[in-house]
Structure 1
Amino acid sequence: MTVLQVNNIETYYGAIQALRGISLHVDEGEIVTLIGSNGAGKSTTLKSISGLAKVKTGTIQYKGKEITNKPPHQTTLLGMAHVPEGRRIFSNLTVKENLLMGAFSVKGKDVIQERMEQVFTHFPKLKERLNQKGGTMSGGEQQMLAIGRALMMNPELLMLDEPSMGLAPIIVEQIFDIILQLNSSGITILLVEQNAYQALSIAHRGYVIQNGEIVLSGKGSELVENEEIKEAYLA
């Protein structure tokens, strides 16, 4: 089953065209990664899908339903969660308060507590830091909190934008292990990542974006061995 279908979308920032006919799809149970250089359009693609950036032409479907230019609070309620670049946690709120913000539409204290316990199975450190303000935690812990906040909505599709950015190598390994765990638990993942080798190593499929266009796609295992990819992104 195709969870996400993006058809020939174009997105602008004012007069500047950021995406030029992007088409991709993500099937149920997959990890699909989007790699490319800075400014290539990776983050704009995710923002266009989640409704943070307005699509000028083209269509986006989630589980067969048209969602083009639906606002983020509506796409979230459909079962999509977007963890933005830079984490964007609420620095002055505690870990618990950040997680509760992620459950803004969840009804029932028991359900919320159950979701929180599920988050703690993936991120036990968050339970230890429950009453600590988010802004006082390490970069890795903040990334865990950003993902945990998204998981409070029990998403079917999780979109991650640069989860390894600015993190120490050992923490990067932990984050990618967690991504694999989440996928094994049934969550479909669309991953934007500058660490191309790590991303392609865990992805079922990948897309390469340059100047707002998809220039190459294939299985993760194939792309990681592609000589052009190696030279451009893995050297």
Structure 2
Amino acid sequence: MSILEIDHINTYYGGIHALRGITLDVNQGEIVTLIGSNGAGKSTTLKSVSGLVKVKSGSIKFKNQDITNKPAHETTLLGMAHVPEGRRIFSNLTVKENLLMGAFSVKKKNVIEERIERVYDYFPILKERLNQKGGTMSGGEQQMLAIGRALMMKPEVLMLDEPSMGLAPIIVEKIFNIIDQLNQDGMTILLVEQNAYQALSIANRGYVIQNGEIVLSGKGHDLIENDEIREAYLA
């Protein structure tokens, strides 16, 4: 059952046609990854879904509800969390303050505390750094914090944009293990990632985007074995 449906969307940056009829879907409980070269349109796809950029034509449905061009805060309240490229944590706030910002619409203190503890279950290092300012943390710790902040809304779909960017291989492996665990615990995930092998290794399905268009799709393990994909993204 599709929880997210993107149907022939076209998105522009001024006169630049960034997305050209993108169509993809994400079923409940899946990890779906979108791979492609830098500038292919991966991040723009996520921004179009979450309402950070306007779609000129086409439609986006979340849980059968049309969310095309809804403001980002509204898509968040509907149950979709977007962890942007570059993490975008609040550098001058502590770890706990960053997490509290992720629960901006939650009113009950006991619910907030339960969700914080749940985040700590996934990312024990954040509990150790509770009062540390986000800007003084390592890149990997900041990525964990960015994901943890998104989890504070208890989303039904988690969109991750380049979670491995700039991280050491050992930290990348740890981040992907956590993404896999989140999925095993019931989280639906749409993953944008340049590290194609890592992404396809944990994904149920994948889409390949080039110049704003989907050019190939299939099961994650099938795409890993595809000769064109191996030459272009896995060499």
TM-score of the pair, normalised by structure 2: 1.00
Give 3-state SS (helix, strand or coil) of 1:37's partner: coil
Aligned partners of 1:154, 1:28: CA distance in 2, in Å?
15
Aligned partners of 1:19, 1:5: CA distance in 2, in Å?
15
Aligned partners of 2:218, 2:107: CA distance in 1, in Å?
41
Deviation at 1:32, TM superposition (A): 0.1
**Residue matched to 1:191:** 191
Give 3-state SS (helix, strand or coil) of 2:225's partner: coil
**Residue matched to 1:103:** 103
Aligned partners of 1:101, 1:230: CA distance in 2, in Å?
40
Deviation at 1:107, TM superposition (A): 1.4
**Residue matched to 1:165:** 165
> What letter matches 2:225 in structure 1?
E
Q: Which runs of 4+ in 1 moved over 3 A?
A: none
Aligned partners of 2:104, 2:78: CA distance in 1, in Å?
14
**Residue matched to 2:113:** 113
Asked whether 1:62 is paired with 2:62, we answer yes
**Residue matched to 1:210:** 210
Give 3-state SS (helix, strand or coil) of 1:164's partner: coil
RMSD between superposed Cα atoms in Å: 0.3
Asked whether 1:133 is paired with 2:133, we answer yes
Aligned partners of 1:156, 1:108: CA distance in 2, in Å?
20
Identity level (%)? 80
- Write out aligned runs for 1:23-102 (5 A): 23-102=23-102
Deviation at 1:29, TM superposition (A): 0.3
Asked whether 1:18 is paired with 2:12, we answer no
Aligned partners of 1:3, 1:101: CA distance in 2, in Å?
26
Aligned partners of 1:184, 1:121: CA distance in 2, in Å?
14
Give 3-state SS (helix, strand or coil) of 1:45's partner: helix
Aligned partners of 2:187, 2:55: CA distance in 1, in Å?
26
Q: How many residues align?
A: 235
> What letter matches 1:105 in structure 2?
S
Asked whether 1:144 is paired with 2:144, we answer yes
Aligned partners of 2:35, 2:131: CA distance in 1, in Å?
36
Give 3-state SS (helix, strand or coil) of 2:181's partner: helix
Aligned partners of 1:204, 1:105: CA distance in 2, in Å?
32
Aligned partners of 1:107, 1:30: CA distance in 2, in Å?
30
Gaps of 5+ in 2: none
CA deviation profile, 1:81-100 (whole Å, cap 9, x unmatched): 00000000000000000000
Aligned partners of 1:79, 1:132: CA distance in 2, in Å?
29
Gaps of 5+ in 1: none
